[in-house]
Amino acid sequence: MAAIPGVTRAELNFGASRLTVEGRFDPEAVIREGARHDIIARPEGETPVEQTFWQRHKRLLITGLSGTALLAGWIAKFTSTQSPFSIAFFLAAMVIGGAATALRAWFSLQKLRFDMNVLMTVAVIGAAAIGEWSEGAVVAFLYSVSNTLESYTMEKARQSIRELMSIAPREALVRRNGKKILLPVDEIRVGDIMIVRPGEKIAMDGRIVRGNSAVDQAAITGESIPVEKGVGDEVFAGTLNQEGAIEVEVTRLVNDTTIARIIHMVAEAQTRRAPSQAFVDRFAAVYTPVVLALAAVIVLLPPLALGQSWGPWIYRGLTLLVVSCPCALVVSTPVALVAAIGNAARNGVLIKGSIHLEEACALAVVAFDKTGTLTVGKPVVTDVIPTGGQDKRGLLALAASIELLSEHPLARAVVAKAGEMKLELSRVENFQAIAGKGARAEVAGRVYYMGSSRLFEEIGAPVSRIKPLLERLQEQGKTAMIVGTETETLGVVAVADQVRETSKNAVRELKRTGVRTALLTGDNAATAKAIAGQLGIDEFEADLLPENKVEAVKKLIEKYGKVAMVGDGINDAPALALATVGIAMGGAGTDVALETADIALMADDLSRLPFCIRLSKAAVRVIKQNVAFALIVKLSAVLLVFPGWLTLWLAILADMGASVLVTLNGVRLLRLKPHP
C-alpha cells in the first residue's frame, strides 16, 4: 500500500477487518492493490455491494476444486498406466490450490520477507521438480484447507466486533419544523427531537424530553434487566425502547455516540500488541530464516560432503520447510485476543488494548474508590432515632421541614425519605443554612436546628447524653444529624451512602480468584472501616484527597506488584493513570471514564470486574496453551524429518492440524459467560 502514490501510511488491522490508509491518494488504487493481496477493500461508511456466490465462498470452492483434481489424479494414477493424465490432474490441484499462496509469496519475496507463503510455495515447486507430483498436490490442497478453516474460525471471532457495528439503526423518525420525517442518521443534528416508538431501537445518543419507558441497554452496558427511564435521563444509540413512546433530544452526532466510540476503541485495541503477541512476532521473524538455512544445509551437505543421492535429501529439505512453517505459532495469540476483547465488549466491558487484557491476568490487588464505585453515590436515610419524646414520623417530618429549602445532598436525602413515607411537612420561616454545620429554621413560631454535634455544642445545647449514640452511628459509617433547639435535643437522623448490591459479591469473587482488595476513600476512617468490614475488603486508607490516592496506589504497587484502581473516572483520574490497570465505572455515561481508563465497565455494575479478570486469565492461559502446543508439534515433526520418517503430506497435515486447533482453542473464549 505504501508504494501507491500519495500514501504516507498504511495499516491493516487483521482482527477488526480494518484497513487504515493515510495521505492524498486515489481510493480506486487502494482497492486495486488490496485485490492483488486478496483483500476486499471499500471506503469507510460505504454500503458494501452484495457479493456473488463465488465471492462469498471463494476459498471453499477453490479448495473443493483442488481436492477434486487431487482425487482425479489418484484415480488416474492407480487405474491407468498413462502417467501424464495423473500428472496433469496433480498439476491442476497444485495450481488451483496454491495459486493464491504463490501470489502472496511473490509479493513477500519482493519485500525480502520469507513468510509461510514462501515456504509453502517452495515446497510445492520443489516436490514437482523432483517428480513428487502427488506430494506437491497434497501439500497445495491441505494448505488451502488450512487457510479455509482458519478463515472461517477467525471470522467467528471478528463477528463479535462486527455485531457491535450493526447494533444502532441507520435511520430515525425526527420531528422538524412541526413535521415528522424519516432521516438517515448522518443527517440528524444535535438538538433534533427523535420519536421512538415501543419496540424500536434508539438511533442516537440523547436525553428524554417526553415520555417514560423501560430501555434494554444490554448492547451497551451488558445489563440483563431493562432500566426505567424518564424525562431528563440519558439514552444511548443501539439500545431498545421496550414499553412507552418517548421523545429524545439528540446530544451527540452519529460518529460520536457511545456505541461509535466503543466500536472505535475495540478496533484500536486490536492494533495495540500484547507482550505475548510481540514475542511471537519477533520469534517468527528470526525463526523463518533459520529454518530456510537449515533446510539448505540438509539439501546440500549430504550430497556434496558425503556423496549421497540428491533426491532423498531434497525431499527431506522440502519436508522441513513445510513442517517448520510457523502458521500455528503466528495465529496462536491474535485469535485469542480478538475473541476475548470481542466477548468483553459484548458483555459491557470495554478493554482498550490487548496489553491491558494481559496485565489484568497478573493483578495482585484491586483498589476501589468508595463513592460512586462501591456505593451508589446517593445518600439515603438509614436511622430515625427520637431522644426527646417525639415518635419517628414526627421527628422525620420536623427534620424534613427544616431542610426543605436546603440544597445540600444530605438534606435532599431527608426530604426524599419524608416524601416516600408521605409525611405532611410544616411551613417554615427564616431558613438559614449554616455552612459546614447544618441549618436553622422557624417552624410554628419556634426556632429549630439540625446538623452536626459541633453546631449544637456551639449553641449551648446539651449533647453529652447522646454522644455514645453518635459514636455508634459513626462507627457504622453513617453521618449523624441532630435535631433540636438551643435547650434540648429531640433526636438523631442518620444518613449513609448506599452500598451497591453487586459490591459484596464482586469483592468475594475477586478474593476467590486470589486477588486482594483495598479501599481508598476521602471519607473519615470510621466510615472507611465500616464499609471495608461490611464488604470484606482486606485493607483501607481514609481521608484521602485525589493526590493522596496517587500516593496510596504507589505504595500498593511497591508492596504487592501489579495493582488495578477502580473509580468513577473523574476525580480518580490521576490514580487510574498511575495504576497498572485503570478501571472506570459507568463508561456508558461518562466521557472521562472512556478516555481515562484502560478498561471501562460500561454499566455501574461491579459484577463485570471479576468476569473481566476471569476472561483475562482464560485468555493468557489459552495463549500459553497455543504457543506450547504449536512449538511441541513443530519440534516433534522436525525430529522426524532427519531419519526420513516424515512425508510432505504428513508435514502439511501436522501444520494444518496445529493451526486449526489453536484457532479453535482461541475462539472458545467467545463462550465465556459473565457469571460462572
Query: Which has the higher per-residue pLDDT, 33 or 211?
Result: 211
Residues belonging to the active site = 369
Segment 102-119 mean pLDDT = 76
Is the predicted pLDDT of residue 300 greater than 70, yes or no?
yes
Last-in-domain residue among 468, 498, 528? 498
In a domain, 538, yes or no: no
Q: Which of 133-137, 186-190, 377-381 has the highest mean pLDDT?
A: 186-190
Both 389 and 480 in one domain: the answer is yes
CA–CA distance, 157 with 151 (Å, rounded to integer): 10
In a domain, 557, yes or no: no
In a domain, 532, yes or no: no
Both 492 and 637 in one domain: the answer is no
Segment 543-547 mean pLDDT = 73
Encode 184-212 in three state secondary structure.
Answer: EHHHCCCCCEEEECCCCECCCCEEEEECC
In a domain, 531, yes or no: no
CA–CA distance, 69 with 63 (Å, rounded to integer): 10
Q: What is the CATH number of the domain that holds 208?
A: 2.70.150.10
Segment 85-95 mean pLDDT = 87
Segment 113-139 mean pLDDT = 75
In a domain, 31, yes or no: yes
Residue 230: its pLDDT value, please? Answer: 87
Tell me: the pLDDT tens digits for 53-66?
666 677 788 888 98
Query: Which has the higher per-residue pLDDT, 209 or 155?
Result: 209
Residue 572: its pLDDT value, please? Answer: 72
Segment 235-254 mean pLDDT = 88
Which domain range does residue 215 map to? 171-255
Both 164 and 276 in one domain: the answer is yes
Q: In what order do the strands lie in the sheet with 240-241?
A: 227-229, 213-216, 240-241
Tell me: the pLDDT tens digits for 157-185?
556 555 656 677 888 999 988 888 999 88
**What are the residues whose beta carbons fall under 8 Å from the beta carbon of 567, sequence distance 6 or more?**
368, 369, 372, 373, 573, 575, 576, 582, 583, 584, 585
Both 248 and 266 in one domain: the answer is no
Is the predicted pLDDT of residue 627 greater than 60, yes or no?
yes
Both 390 and 494 in one domain: the answer is yes
- Find the Cα–Cα–Cα–Cα dihedral 577, 579, 583, 589, rounded to 10°: -20
- Find the Cα–Cα–Cα–Cα dihedral 87, 88, 93, 96, rounded to 10°: 150
**Matching residue, cell 456505593:** 375
Both 76 and 123 in one domain: the answer is yes
Is the predicted pLDDT of residue 554 greater than 60, yes or no?
yes
Mean pLDDT of the chain: 80
In a domain, 369, yes or no: no
Both 27 and 57 in one domain: the answer is no
Both 585 and 662 in one domain: the answer is yes
Residue 216: its pLDDT value, please? Answer: 83
Domain total in the chain:
4
Both 162 and 214 in one domain: the answer is no
Query: Which has the higher per-residue pLDDT, 562 or 142?
Result: 562
In a domain, 442, yes or no: yes
Residue 402: its pLDDT value, please? Answer: 92
Residue 507: its pLDDT value, please? Answer: 93
Is the predicted pLDDT of residue 261 greater than 90, yes or no?
no
Last-in-domain residue among 439, 473, 498? 498
- Residue 600: which pLDDT band, with cuts at 50, 70 and 90? confident
- Residue 111: which pLDDT band, with cuts at 50, 70 and 90? confident
Tell me: the pLDDT tens digits for 504-513?
899 999 998 8
Last-in-domain residue among 255, 285, 316? 255
Tell me: the pLDDT tens digits for 3-40?
666 666 666 555 555 666 666 666 666 666 666 655 66
Q: In what order do the strands lie in the sheet with 438-443?
A: 375-386, 489-499, 479-484, 446-451, 438-443, 428-434
Return the SS3 of 527: helix
Contact 313, 294 (CB under 8 A): no
Contact 440, 448 (CB under 8 A): yes
One-letter amino acid identity for 659?
A: S
**Matching residue, cell 501507491:** 4
Closest CA to 628 of 325, 291, 280, 358: 280
Segment 372-383 mean pLDDT = 84
**What are the residues whose beta carbons fall under 8 Å from the beta carbon of 79, sequence distance 6 or more?**
none
Q: Which own/partner pairs from 462-470 qualify as long-range (CB within 8 Å, at least 24 positions apart)?
A: 462/487, 462/488, 462/489, 463/489, 465/387, 465/489, 466/387, 466/492, 469/385, 469/387
Encode 27-82 in three state secondary structure.
Answer: HHHHHHHHHHCCCCCCCCCCCCCCCCHHHHCHHHHHHHHHHHHHHHHHHHHHHCCC
In a domain, 608, yes or no: yes
Both 201 and 275 in one domain: the answer is no
- Residue 109: which pLDDT band, with cuts at 50, 70 and 90? confident
- Residue 447: which pLDDT band, with cuts at 50, 70 and 90? very high
Buried/exposed 15-33: b ≥16 CB within 10 Å, e otherwise: bbbbbebeeebeeebbeeb
Both 469 and 389 in one domain: the answer is yes
Is the predicted pLDDT of residue 277 greater than 70, yes or no?
no
Residue 195: its pLDDT value, please? Answer: 92
